[in-house]
Amino acid sequence: MRPMTALLLCSALTTPAMAENQLRAVTLSTAGVAMLEAEGQIDAGGLRLTLRRSDMNDFLKSLRVADPSGASPRLTLPGPGGLDDAFATLPFPPEALSDLTALIAAMQGAPARLTRRAATLEGRLMGTQPTPCDDGRAGCVAVSLMDDDGQIVQIPLDDATTLVLQDGADRAALASALDAIRAQGRASRIEVMIESADTSPREISLGWLQPAPVWKTAWRAVEGPDGLALTGWAVLENTTGQDWEAVSLTLATGAVRALDARLYERTDAPRETAPQFAPMLAESAMARSFADAPMVEAAPVTMTEGASFSAYTLSEPVTLASGQMLSLPFLQEQATTARLTLYRGGSYATHPMMALEVENPLPLRLPAGVVTVYDAARGHAGDALMPELAPGDSALVEFAEDSAVTIREDRNERTRITEATVTDGVLVARERVELTTTYRIEGAESGPRTLTLLHPRRAGWDMQTTGGTQELDATRFNVDAPSGDITAFAVVESRTTSTRLALLELSLDDLVYWEGRMPSPDTIAVFKQLRALRNEQADLEDQIARTQAMEAQLIADQDRLARLIAQLGDDSDANAERRERVDAIDTEIAALRAQRAELERGLASTSKQLSAVLGQ
């Protein structure tokens, strides 16, 4: 049998038949947990372990039992609300144990015997009330009883008074309360009882996880004639709560997941109130180990699969006291698994994850739960969360980071027009967008890997890279990553979009931009004609604007000269020259108007050619 590696011990195994040096091995992990291996003898009296309360969550999450008999184990331990649960069934509160007056008030009607010095009274307790003290001072208390004759009698309650509860059930309740108070006083430690149906004496092996300080490395580097001598020193603590004697100590590194599963905490769910209902066993959580250590048999169950639930009913009766917890295996099945080096595209993570692809082979649902993964090489390989699996479904369970492989993810987007037409002055262009995601994979020095790449599917994009398997929200590729080499794997996706543009609304710069993107000589020729005609049109419009400005200036000069001639009103030589200039301006205006008319005819011809080119 391979010894179970376990992570840090905070407990002691206590049983009269326990062999010495029961702690066999300790593995300290940089994940902040320790894995413990121990051996002990179990018999008809079971096997007791005393654990720290702070370690119970990891213990319940990860305990493994290797029993040569193969019998189903069961764990019994005090619940997290043990004191409240214990007093919930008792007729008095915890404070009544330290206040006799409160105890008598809570036990009204109980048969009792009170003795004070030479006086003895028997009857049923009725309660207490204030009474004067023997010396006349106030502040004393008397107990009232009703005796068998129906008389109500009193006796002072002081240091000289003895109270005896005559009902055995009342005395048992008081003893239970004291036991609960005593247990609460030792609340930092929990006693766990391990039992099984096989009562024969035998040695069993146990393994479990506990929180532990992270062990550290201090390197020593010495440069000498033969090069650099590098020595690593481990810095660690023994926080197991007991001495290590000839234990096999393992120091483990790696980015494994160590989940804090709050299994030793009470969780209440809101419930609806219904007038009638039929009880149904709810789905249970399953903790699953993939180690190669011997597995004990699960308790026999009857399995029922419903439309949205699975029920596991124990075939054997279960006896469990109030305030106790029960832990036992309920399902055992060999699921189909494949170990993967997994990278999720779009995460931009530096390293891929180690993962298991788990398939449910049963005709019923496997409930969700925390999974503690073990392997033969290092023991505790990591923790993971497994979702609920319907029959035949599979899930990728990621439990650790593969820091030996490095990945860099780059994206590049390229757009080109594949088809373009011009109709009624509108350009309709179909654009093909290609998105290339390149995964640069630096292989592990320790050996080659086959990387399982999950590239996310994007709505509206078509996958162009072949060889992938389509899944619900990703395309799956298997990429070989040779040892120490860098492998580039490109995933190409494409989509086609359509663009509509009114060409007459485009600027000349926009025409130049779109002309450079046209896919065929015909459309390029159209854009060249458009640019030439738009340039000619712009030049004609500019010339027409200049002639209009010149004409306006001449008209303004002519009006100014005419007003000046009228104001002077003489036949001087200066006025004669002004009159000649007014007549000359008339000729210039007529010439400008004739020039503008010619330009406007050219502009109309150009606009007509534009319409012909645009198909309007």
Work out the pLDDT band at 191, boundaries 50, 70, 90.
Answer: confident
pLDDT at 283 (0 to 100): 31
| DSSP string for 502-542 | EGGGS-HHHHHHHHTT-SSHHHHHHHHHHHHHHHHHHHHHH
Quote the tokens at residue 593: 């108007």
The answer to whether residue 99 is domain-embedded is yes
The answer to whether residue 434 is domain-embedded is yes
- Whether 120 and 163 map to the same domain: the answer is yes
pLDDT at 68 (0 to 100): 92
- Whether 587 and 537 map to the same domain: the answer is yes
Average confidence (pLDDT) over 185-191: 72
Rg of the chain over Cα atoms, rounded to whole angstroms, equals 47
Quote the tokens at residue 225: 């004639």
- Whether 498 and 420 map to the same domain: the answer is yes
Specify the number of domains making up the chain. Answer: 3
Average confidence (pLDDT) over 518-533: 89
- Whether 413 and 486 map to the same domain: the answer is yes
Q: Is 45 helix (H, G, I), strand (E, B) or coil?
A: coil
Average confidence (pLDDT) over 117-144: 86
Q: Give residue 8's identity as a one-letter amino acid code.
A: L
> Greater confidence, 365 or 203?
203
> Greater confidence, 319 or 449?
449
Per-residue burial over 204-215, b if 16 or more Cβ lie within 10 Å, else e, is bbbbbbbbbeeb
- Whether 531 and 481 map to the same domain: the answer is no
- Whether 558 and 483 map to the same domain: the answer is no
- Whether 497 and 430 map to the same domain: the answer is yes
d(CA 64, CA 48): 15
The answer to whether residue 288 is domain-embedded is no
Residues near 257 by Cβ (< 8 Å), separated by ≥ 6? 31, 382, 383, 384, 398, 399, 400
Neighbours of 55 (CB within 10 A): 25
The answer to whether residue 399 is domain-embedded is no
d(CA 71, CA 86): 31
- Whether 475 and 527 map to the same domain: the answer is no
Quote the tokens at residue 454: 């999950």
Residue 17 DSSP one-character state: T
Most confident of 96-100, 362-366, 405-409: 405-409
- Whether 521 and 582 map to the same domain: the answer is yes
pLDDT at 455 over 90: yes
Residue where a domain stops, chosen among 174, 208, 239: 174
- Whether 609 and 526 map to the same domain: the answer is yes
Residue 153: domain span: 93-174
The answer to whether residue 369 is domain-embedded is no
pLDDT tens sequence across 362-391: 787 777 888 888 877 778 888 888 888 888
For 426-467, list the strands marked E by DSSP: 426-442, 449-456, 462-463
pLDDT at 297 (0 to 100): 53
Residue where a domain stops, chosen among 505, 527, 551: 505
Mode of pairing for the β-strands spanning 202-211 and 161-165: unpaired
Please give the mean pLDDT across all residues of the chain: 82
The answer to whether residue 283 is domain-embedded is no
- Whether 489 and 527 map to the same domain: the answer is no
Residue where a domain stops, chosen among 174, 205, 221: 174
The answer to whether residue 23 is domain-embedded is no
Average confidence (pLDDT) over 111-134: 89
Q: Is 123 helix (H, G, I), strand (E, B) or coil?
A: strand
- Whether 536 and 609 map to the same domain: the answer is yes
pLDDT at 550 over 50: yes
CB 364 within 8 A of CB 303: yes
The answer to whether residue 567 is domain-embedded is yes
- Write the CATH number for 161: 2.30.30.520
Nearest CA among 461, 457, 436 for reference residue 344: 457
